[in-house]
Copies of this chain bind each other. A is one copy, B any other.
Amino acid sequence: MRYLPKSDSERKEMLRAIGANSIEDLFSTIPERFRLKHPLHLPGPLSEAEIIQYFQARAEENARGYTSFLGAGVYQHLRSVVPDAIIQRGEFLTSYTPYQAEISQGTLAAIFEFQTLMCQLTGQEVANASMYDGSTALTEAVLMAERLTDRRHVFIARTVHPEYRQVLQTYAKHLGLELSEVGFTASGQLDVAALDPRALAGAAALVVQSPNFLGVLENLPALAEIAHGSGALLVTGIAEAVSLGTVRPPAEADIVAMEGQSLGVAPSYGGPYVGVIATREKNVRQMPGRLAGQTTDAQGRRGFVLTLATREQHIRREKATSNICTNEALFALAATIHLCLLGKQGLREVAEQNLAKARFAQAELEKIPGVKRAFSGPTFNEFTLEFPRSVKLINAELLREKIIGPLPLGQSYPDQTKRGLVCVTETMPRTEIERLAAAIRRILEKPV
């Protein structure tokens, strides 16, 4: 087999050296009756060419050639070929977690740069070396808030990504956390009026997302004040990190939980992405996940190591801040390279193009009779529209024109079946925006 660097004669030679008569001898500790008598029923073995054929055939069964207006937590952005070229260098791709600092300085320095970039983006003081994704980052941020406040009640906006909320529920269930959902107003922002101050008094955290799942930016300074007013922490989720190129960072939040997919990671049908937790220095010892820190060797040379490991499972076991071990290092590296390329200027320009394209699309779509904006709050590259019919029905017809239409909010908000979330990034050509508008117009003109 092409991956195995041994000839049969070498195998025999090694068995002899071991003093075994046959390979079976080495498995003698496995009770006879549990040893497989027949080969496994698996497809293959396949040659490299057949493997490529198999996956190319699968790719044909997907949405190649379709234009998609989906965002809702995963975003199509321009990616230079440079990061991918670098992360494919064996030295990065095939190395392990940098526990042995002396021969892992490459990975460690890059993580240190990643942590720095995440702090700069979020306006926070410390960031970790990555979490699995945005949903688990948000969940871990809430658990962190619980540890920091020693309170159990958590208020979470209904406008937080529905799947993020589901994950939080799964984790919260057996940790005795009480979750209360908070609705939204006509602006699409958190309904502050619905926050019962008495209840909030004992709360661990107020959890919001900005831009939220409806595409609307939350007024974080105001929300921070409310939360802090009753000793609760403000936990802010960010699903569209590119917004931070032009949108005010969540500097007032106590903990930021971010999905880094937009920072140079492919959609890849849901993962792998890169979650991030950023917070204030004073909270660092309650933070989950790996941290790289700067230090020196005996000769005073600067170097980097994984540090504050006493928070982690491999040292503290059941007392650890989290069970996370393997994280998303390779994509933290990809995001680091991506952001270094974009730089100060580039990141802002990308964000501004998103804003411009989304505003253009919104204007084009609002020209269609019966189509109007659903919420009045400020939006970045996503916005919710109200249609005269079910979005699902409209999408079914759009699909025939190779357009993947707005995300039907009805999926997660049963009362919003006629509302759809439209995402338009810098990658969307004006002509395609116009094609979408024309198609929807045609569809709506047809009598149902």
A binding-site residues for B, Cβ under 8 Å: 2, 48-49, 52, 78, 80-81, 85, 88-89, 341
Contacts and interface: CB of A to CB of B under 8 A. Distances in A.
A36 to B, nearest CB: 29
Nearest to A89: B89
A88 B84 CA distance: 12
A430 B81 CA distance: 37
A85 B88 CA distance: 8
Protomer copies: 2
A48 B80 contact: yes
Given A52-B81, A85-B88, A88-B88, 6 more contacts: A2-B341, A48-B78, A48-B80, A48-B81, A49-B78, A89-B89
A345 B49 CA distance: 17
A436 to B, nearest CB: 20
Contacts of A88: 85, 88
Contacts of A48: 78, 80-81
A81 B49 CA distance: 9
A150 B25 CA distance: 70
Contacts of A89: 89
A79 to B, nearest CB: 9
9 contacts: A2-B341, A48-B78, A48-B80, A48-B81, A49-B78, A52-B81, A85-B88, A88-B88, A89-B89
Contacts of A81: 48, 52
Q: Is the interface of A mostly helix, strand, loop or mixed?
A: helix
Nearest to A48: B80
Nearest to A82: B48
Nearest to A78: B49
Nearest to A52: B81
A341 to B, nearest CB: 8
A196 to B, nearest CB: 50
Contacts of A2: 341
A78 to B, nearest CB: 5
Contacts of A80: 48
Contacts of A341: 2
A81 B85 CA distance: 14
Nearest to A51: B81
A389 to B, nearest CB: 35
A202 to B, nearest CB: 51
A402 to B, nearest CB: 16
A341 B80 CA distance: 31
A48 B85 CA distance: 14
Question: Closest 9 interchain pairs by CB?
Answer: A49-B78, A48-B80, A89-B89, A85-B88, A48-B81, A52-B81, A2-B341, A48-B78, A88-B88
A332 B85 CA distance: 22
Nearest to A86: B90
A89 B49 CA distance: 23
A89 B85 CA distance: 9
A341 B89 CA distance: 20
A81 B56 CA distance: 14
Nearest to A85: B88
A434 B48 CA distance: 25
A81 B55 CA distance: 14
Contacts of A52: 81
A49 B79 CA distance: 8
Nearest to A88: B85
Nearest to A47: B78
A253 to B, nearest CB: 33
A228 B41 CA distance: 61
Nearest to A49: B78
A83 B341 CA distance: 28
A111 to B, nearest CB: 22
A339 B89 CA distance: 22
A78 B80 CA distance: 29
A49 to B, nearest CB: 5
